[in-house]
Structure 1
Amino acid sequence: MSRKWTAAVILIVLFLLLGVALYSPARESVDEEPVLANELVLTHDGKLHVLLIGEDYQGQLPPEQRTKNRSDALMVASVDLETSEMRLLSIPRDTLVVIPGREGKDKINHALAFGGVELTMRTVREFLGIPICYYVYVDLNGFRQLVDAMGGIPIRLEKDLKYVDSYGDTCVVMQKGDHVLGGVEAEAFVRFRKGDGDLARTGRQRQFVIAAIKQLLKPGNVMKMNELISMAREMLCSNIPQKAMLEYLPRLLSLEPGSVKEFMVEGKGLIFDGIYYYEPDLVQLNQLVRDYFYPGVDLGACQGLRVLVVVANEDHELGEQIATLLQRHGLQVTDVIQGEEVQP
């Protein structure tokens, strides 16, 4: 398969990874981080980490009637470019975290409304301790269309499903058993949570991702990859450099469904002032991140080590974020300064 086709496959896979949630049609409303240079920024172990962000869907409301959205689902995709393995970490929307610049703790899905993609990325970076540089965002209408163009997604329902969205735009009823989900049904499958909550929905989202990758790699879809890639380009917002994708991601040519492993932030639900929150188990989460996503450094060797963070460009805020990550790994950061302040 050519480099062009492989990049197309990866782009559509990223689209589908994000498309498992409900996404706002308003692409122009996304507060994007600046697009990075043409070369991918990888972690020291050669992994590419991508944050997948989806907004609360607001039905078919015209743009002027929409409110500031919150993220409806968050996933981190970690891609090992050497072994062609992908790991997915789902973060429940009600997860209680510190949102930088806000007092106390709040639901992680509120970060998008408070500060757009930039604040969402910063919140997730500091929550997980993973140096995530890239994001992918997609609109909901595009998700439906692409699923239909792929011929639907084969899924086995473990229980009957009846889904009606809060705006009255969609009503889907399906019985337990095997189905091929079209765009509307796929949206209902990944959104439905009545009766079994956000955790069960997160599991269905991961089930959909695996099934979608299998469907995408079938010969019939490979034959119409030009059509699919054209659709995906219209629907995606991302800061992953296209040139870098062409250069590095052909290594995922050998991607098989069995090479995609899925995880979720574990925790427990709690009610505070009548509002539901999801309290993460931070001890287990930190171990999960170290074992499967970002090993970081030898924490014992870092204790007491003092470092100075020098920012070579004008992005002092990013330097502060890096300092936070270093401190999380046991280093003592003495200061964060601009490059021109360093004496030769």
Structure 2
Amino acid sequence: MRTYQKVIVSILGVLVIMVAAVTGYGMKVLGDANKAVDTISQQVNRTTKKREVAVNFGDKDPFSILLLGVDTGALGRKDHGRSDSMMVVTVNPAEEQTTIVSLDRDILSDMLDGVTFDKLNHAYAYGDVELAMDVVEKLVDVPIDHYVMMNMQGLRDLIDAVGGIEVDNKIDFTLEKVHVPAGKITLDGKTGLAYARMRKDDPEGDIGRQRRQREVIAKIVDKLISLDSVSNYQKILKAVEKNSRTDLVWDQMLNIVTNYYPAFENIEQAQLEGQGEQINGIYYQILGVNELLKVQNLLKEQLGLPTNEELEIDPQFQYSINGFIGNQFYDDRDYSSQENSAESFYEQ
């Protein structure tokens, strides 16, 4: 599945419900939400290498979440799966901004065993959430503080739980016998899942699909933040607890609700993409040095971290046998300009 970054939504669903509980449903909702969080909480056996001191939600530190959409849970798929959707989300309460950066699943990435370079989405298959977080952390060069994972069925259930989402679909298509017409339409869980998964009929391929995935996230978040969604809180919680997991615990979520909520109302989106290349007969996305640097600096700015003027490359990967820097990147630097800021990098 390529969309289950509907993940931030799973957290936001719980968070929004808790906020609404204060005014609407009281302790009943808080109790149900607490149980749901206990169900989905699963800690990871890793610590970010990019921070000396862990994020303190009480102090309103900016933080990051890796969103993983796993291609299991629906359409008869029950295996471990791969994280065919991956997004890095940064939340900055001082700026009242959330940033979502989509990562192409085919990005050639270091699997951190000293020898293996493979597609980014294989990290989850090789080493579950822990390796996925470590591989992404090295790639984007910012701390990955937490994760949220959701499967296909979770997205479908969540869209239904919020009463559907409205989109302006540009491409009339049918995916696995599910027809999604062009135009301004309301998607339910079934059609919404297809809308987020479709790739082959989109002229932009994975890039177009990832754009639709981010759109779905934003639409669900809008619904979750609205008061109308609170009446469906039990459906939302059910969608979350059956099909997702996270290392965030109840107290952390309460702090996020208290200190970060306005940031979720301002979501900026960006895309990390490279160029397609065949290596040993296998398709990969190869990232440009400058493109990756821009994304790294964008995320660092959002997390309040120092930016870099040049991409840092491990000395052992400085030289390439196939024309790419470190067998992983190509040189897209503009030598007529040294400007590497993240300004105007956001999608319009």
Q: Normalized against structure 2, the TM-score is what?
A: 0.68
Indicate the residue corresponding to 2:97 in structure 1. 85
Which residue of the other structure, out of 30, 33, 50, is the alignment partner of 2:44? 33
**Residues in 2 aligned to 1:58 and 1:226: alpha-carbon distance in whole angstroms:** 20
What per-residue deviation string (whole Å, max 9, x for no partner) do you get for residues 189-210 of structure 1?
A: 1110003311111111111112
User: How many residues are paired up?
Assistant: 269
Structure 1 unaligned runs (5+)?
Answer: 13-27, 165-170, 304-344
Matches within 5 A, 1:243-282: 243-255=251-263, 257=265, 259-282=266-289
* Structure 1 residue 172: Cα displacement: 1.0
Q: Look up the equivalent residue of 2:212 and give its one-letter code.
A: R
What per-residue deviation string (whole Å, max 9, x for no partner) do you get for residues 295-325 of structure 1?
A: 533658xx9xxxxxxxxxxxxxxxxxxxxxx
Q: Look up the equivalent residue of 1:83 and give its one-letter code.
A: E
Q: Is the 8 A contact 2:45 2:130 kept in 1?
A: no
Change (3 A) 1:110 1:298: closer
Indicate the residue corresponding to 1:176 in structure 2. 182
Matches within 5 A, 1:46-65: 46-57=61-72, 59-61=74-76, 63=78
What per-residue deviation string (whole Å, max 9, x for no partner) do you get for residues 234-259 of structure 1?
A: 432000122022023323333565x1
Partner SS for 1:224:
helix
Q: Look up the equivalent residue of 1:296 and give its one-letter code.
A: L
What per-residue deviation string (whole Å, max 9, x for no partner) do you get for residues 126-184 of structure 1?
A: 111111121001232222122112110111101112112xxxxxx21122101111111
Indicate the residue corresponding to 2:9 in structure 1. none
Indicate the residue corresponding to 1:98 in structure 2. 110
- 1:149 equivalenced with 2:158 (yes/no): no
Partner SS for 2:81:
coil
**Residues in 2 aligned to 1:58 and 1:252: alpha-carbon distance in whole angstroms:** 31
Identity among equivalent positions (%) equals 25
Partner SS for 1:77:
strand
* Structure 1 residue 32: Cα displacement: 5.5
Q: Look up the equivalent residue of 1:50 and give its one-letter code.
A: I
Partner SS for 1:57:
coil
Change (3 A) 1:260 1:60: closer
Partner SS for 2:206:
helix
Q: Look up the equivalent residue of 1:225 and give its one-letter code.
A: Y
Structure 2 unaligned runs (5+)?
Answer: 1-11, 20-38, 48-52, 313-348
Q: Is the 8 A contact 2:140 2:295 kept in 1?
A: no
- 1:114 equivalenced with 2:126 (yes/no): yes
Matches within 5 A, 1:1-344: 8-9=15-16, 33-34=44-45, 41=55, 46-57=61-72, 59-61=74-76, 63=78, 66=79, 68-101=80-113, 103-164=115-176, 171-195=177-201, 196=203, 197-255=205-263, 257=265, 259-292=266-299, 293-294=302-303, 296-297=305-306
Q: Is the 8 A contact 1:95 1:279 kept in 2?
A: yes
Change (3 A) 1:177 1:150: same
**Residues in 2 aligned to 1:123 and 1:227: alpha-carbon distance in whole angstroms:** 34
* Structure 1 residue 57: Cα displacement: 3.4
Change (3 A) 1:178 1:299: closer
RMSD of aligned C-alpha atoms? 3.3
* Structure 1 residue 268: Cα displacement: 0.9
